[in-house]
């Protein structure tokens, strides 16, 4: 919601009037110096949207506030140009509506277009959340990264490395929505106050690493003739892409990292395939390369890559992980019921590379149980299992 600066305004006044943490207002207006507000400037107030209301005969601002269940002080504040004692029928005023509902509907087949629509909505309501493009897919789709908070501890999550594991994206997005709601309404999640996390943690999230692949699984082959012919050829002519894990070129993005990549190259698929083809060399695919560049540039303290399925958490790589990694994974296991597994006969994954290069905690979390793609009937159960992991990754 936007308001216009008037004489005597300051961010502290906005914080008190709208019952918002001061820092969220400051960070929602990065181009404005907090101590140099100018009359007529537009300031964004996070966590609110505005609605238009037409005055009816007999209305007063007090009765409107009561009927609409909104704060009288906030109503008065956003309609300061109006004489509250001289309202007339047909007059237009603004209703400041505090957002207390989710924008994200995660319990649906969640395509790239759904993600982009939700990001636009969340960016409008919560302008303190930054939205960056970290790269593009093979087909040119921008790969978004969301950043919340500016703390010293840098935590990264990602989802949908694998196309038919797309349910990880709405699971992540639902928590992000709940986190934003909790920050602006100052309400706890599972009894935990999250507002201190905003000052302590920089949370980086790439909700959908493989947008071309996700759309292929959910929407079928693309309209573009070259890509359509390519995926149908790789898939042996079948239009059922439910088993497809790779990107649109048939490369498995989580077999693309230079952490014993040569082992996977020898024993996995030798040509483009719906799954398990590691490519001709590490980091040939723009999606995998984008995440690698982001990881180098952000210098994360820990990373969590969300996959499905198995209800297990992989947390080691060739004994390069630090001792704290075990403490953290044991907490993940406690809050989720998932089984920690330190080592497995698998290489060239994102968390493998992260642990190898930085000797910091990295995790591959296999959400849910069954056959990919997991059915939406599991969505709520998976979300509740993952919720504790999301919180623990920020708190610990």
Q: Is residue 315 a contact partner of residue 341, using CB atoms and an 8 Å limit?
A: yes
Size of the chain, expressed as the number of residues it contains: 396
Strand pairing category for 201-206 and 153-159? parallel
Q: Is residue 391 a contact partner of residue 192, using CB atoms and an 8 Å limit?
A: yes
Nearby residues of 262 by Cβ (< 8 Å), 6 or more positions away:
none
Number of neighbours of residue 229 by Cβ within 10 angstroms? 11
Nearby residues of 278 by Cβ (< 8 Å), 6 or more positions away:
251, 252, 255, 256, 261, 264, 265, 268, 269, 348
Nearby residues of 152 by Cβ (< 8 Å), 6 or more positions away:
200, 202
State the distance between the two ends of the chain, measured CA to CA, in whole angstroms: 34
Secondary element (H or E) of residue 357 = helix 350-358
Catalytic sites, residue numbers: 366
């Amino acid at each position: 919601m936007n308001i216009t600066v008037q004489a005597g305004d300051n961010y502290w006044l906005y914080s008190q009037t709208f019952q918002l943490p001061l820092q969220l207002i400051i960070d929602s207006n990065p181009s404005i110096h907090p101590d140099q507000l100018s009359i007529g400037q537009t300031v964004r107030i996070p966590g609110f949207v505005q609605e238009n209301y037409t005055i009816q005969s007999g209305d007063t601002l007090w009765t409107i506030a009561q009927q609409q269940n909104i704060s009288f002080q906030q109503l008065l504040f956003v309609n300061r140009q109006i004489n509250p004692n001289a309202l007339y029928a047909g007059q237009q005023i603004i209703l400041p509506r505090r957002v207390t509902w989710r924008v994200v509907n995660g319990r649906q087949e969640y395509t790239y277009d759904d993600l982009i629509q939700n990001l636009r909505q969340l960016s409008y309501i919560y302008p303190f959340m930054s939205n960056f493009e970290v790269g593009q897919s093979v087909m040119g789709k921008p790969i978004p990264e969301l950043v919340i908070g500016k703390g010293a501890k840098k935590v990264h999550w990602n989802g949908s490395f694998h196309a038919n594991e797309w349910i990880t994206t709405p699971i992540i997005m639902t928590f992000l929505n709940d986190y934003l709601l909790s920050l602006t309404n100052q309400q706890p999640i599972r009894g935990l106050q999250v507002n201190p996390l905003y000052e302590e943690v920089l949370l980086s999230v790439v909700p959908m690493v493989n947008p071309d692949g996700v759309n292929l699984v959910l929407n079928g082959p693309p309209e573009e003739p070259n890509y359509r012919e390519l995926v149908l050829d790789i898939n042996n002519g079948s239009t059922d892409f439910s088993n497809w894990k790779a990107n649109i070129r048939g490369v498995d993005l989580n077999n693309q990292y230079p952490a014993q990549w040569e082992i996977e190259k020898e024993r996995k698929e030798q040509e483009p395939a719906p799954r398990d083809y590691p490519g001709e060399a590490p980091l040939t695919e723009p999606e995998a390369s984008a995440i690698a560049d982001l990881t180098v540039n952000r210098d994360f303290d820990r990373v969590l890559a969300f996959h499905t399925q198995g209800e297990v958490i992989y947390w080691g790589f060739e004994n390069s992980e630090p001792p704290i990694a075990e403490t953290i994974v044991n907490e993940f296991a406690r809050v989720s019921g998932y089984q920690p597994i330190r080592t497995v006969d698998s290489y060239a994954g994102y968390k493998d590379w992260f642990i190898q290069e930085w000797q910091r905690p990295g995790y591959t979390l296999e959400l849910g149980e069954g056959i990919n793609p997991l059915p939406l009937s599991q969505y709520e159960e998976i979300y509740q299992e993952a919720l504790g992991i999301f919180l623990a990754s920020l708190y610990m």
